[in-house]
């Protein structure tokens, strides 16, 4: 009568008296459950300790390796998108200040950052005509100085391009991984929600009232601490459904949207049907009827 016993170190064959006779995998009966503690005692022998250490390290490394899912990739990418937004803002403000030494009137007349960065490449005379500047307060600077500003403008455009590429990349991952959340939330909002919840699993398990406030932690804790007004929305504030309703209805819209987003996250995590589009239409109709 032989028994077979498996652990991290491999498969062991034991005789009737529970002595290890081999660590080859061969035909044998599985060890009955009631005898398992007796066998585990054997492995308290010090000679196994190092082997256990090595085997466990290997298992842990494999575990870490397997833990990298779409979640992690989405979280890294959206974090970089958020960073890119900040950096672009800083650089464009710097460019406005810098270029204002040359043609200060332009910065006042062009509010949109992107258009401003584009316009810089044009010659000064053209811009003066286009924006009918009477007498410019800007200095007459050599091309040598303007080129330096144009280099910064090019850099800003490149950063904007990188942001677009990141968004495309996110869309491709999320189309497979969380189609409902993507459909209803849009790329950035959906990715930010996953980032804030630290994964789709946790997002699916959160109550929708928490989803509504993800990203508004600062205001929430201020509310709890000082009794100031409670926040109505976190990152979902930037979602068109919340953006397009009048102010008095923002809270309600945020609540309804968070509700559906929460359902979407659950459908996606438990591999349910595709309902994102349906939910979106429902929401739009419900808010129109108000």
Q: Which residues bind its own copies (CB under 8 A)?
A: 58, 61, 64-66, 68, 72-73, 76-77, 79-80, 83, 87, 90-91, 94, 97-98, 101, 104, 135-141, 144-145, 148, 151-152, 155, 158-159, 162, 165-166, 169, 172
282 φ/ψ sector (left φ>0, alpha ψ -120 to 50, else beta): alpha
Nearer to its own copies, 14 or 75 (CB): 75
Nearer to its own copies, 6 or 61 (CB): 61
As a whole number of angstroms, the distance between CA 272 and CA 275 comes to 9
Nearer to its own copies, 158 or 282 (CB): 158
Nearer to its own copies, 24 or 135 (CB): 135
Nearer to its own copies, 93 or 281 (CB): 93
Please report how close the Cβ of residue 156 comes to its own copies at its closest, in angstroms.
10
Nearer to its own copies, 73 or 220 (CB): 73
Please report how close the Cβ of residue 151 comes to its own copies at its closest, in angstroms.
6
Please report how close the Cβ of residue 158 comes to its own copies at its closest, in angstroms.
6
Please report how close the Cβ of residue 196 comes to its own copies at its closest, in angstroms.
17
Classify residue 176 as exposed, middle or buried by CB count within 10 Å of its CB (0-12, 13-18, 19+): exposed
As a whole number of angstroms, the distance between CA 126 and CA 105 comes to 13
Please report how close the Cβ of residue 171 comes to its own copies at its closest, in angstroms.
12
As a whole number of angstroms, the distance between CA 229 and CA 113 comes to 33
| DSSP notation for 180-220 | HHHHHH-HHHHHHHHHHHTSHHHHHHS-HHHHHHTT-HHHH
Q: Any bridge partners for residue 7, and if so which?
A: 10
As a whole number of angstroms, the distance between CA 116 and CA 110 comes to 6
Please report how close the Cβ of residue 100 comes to its own copies at its closest, in angstroms.
9
């Amino acid at each position: 009568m032989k028994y077979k016993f498996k652990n991290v170190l491999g498969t062991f064959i034991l005789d009737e008296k529970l002595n290890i006779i081999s660590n080859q995998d061969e035909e044998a009966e599985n060890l009955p459950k009631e005898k398992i503690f007796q066998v585990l005692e054997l492995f308290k022998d010090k000679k196994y300790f190092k082997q256990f250490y090595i085997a466990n390290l290997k298992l842990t490394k494999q575990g870490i390796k397997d833990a990298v899912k779409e979640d992690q990739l989405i979280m890294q990418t959206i974090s970089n998108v958020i960073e890119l937004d900040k950096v672009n803002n800083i650089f464009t403000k710097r460019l406005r200040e810098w270029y204002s030494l040359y043609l200060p009137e332009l910065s006042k007349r062009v509010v949109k950052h992107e258009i401003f960065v584009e316009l810089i490449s044009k010659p000064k005379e053209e811009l003066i005509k286009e924006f009918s500047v009477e007498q410019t307060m800007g200095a007459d600077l050599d091309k040598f100085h303007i080129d330096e500003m144009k280099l910064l403008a090019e850099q800003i455009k490149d950063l904007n391009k990188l942001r677009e590429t990141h968004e495309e990349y996110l869309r491709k991952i999320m189309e497979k991984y969380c189609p409902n959340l993507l459909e209803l939330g849009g790329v950035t909002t959906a990715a930010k929600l996953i980032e804030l919840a630290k994964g789709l699993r946790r997002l699916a398990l959160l109550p929708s009232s928490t989803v509504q406030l993800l990203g508004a932690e600062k205001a929430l804790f201020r509310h709890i601490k000082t009794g100031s007004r409670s926040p109505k929305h976190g990152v979902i504030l930037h979602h068109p459904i919340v953006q397009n309703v009048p102010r008095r209805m923002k809270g309600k819209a945020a609540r309804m949207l968070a509700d559906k987003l929460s359902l979407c996250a659950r459908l996606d995590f438990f591999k349910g049907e595709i309902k994102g589009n349906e939910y979106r239409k429902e929401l739009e109709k419900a808010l129109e009827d108000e």
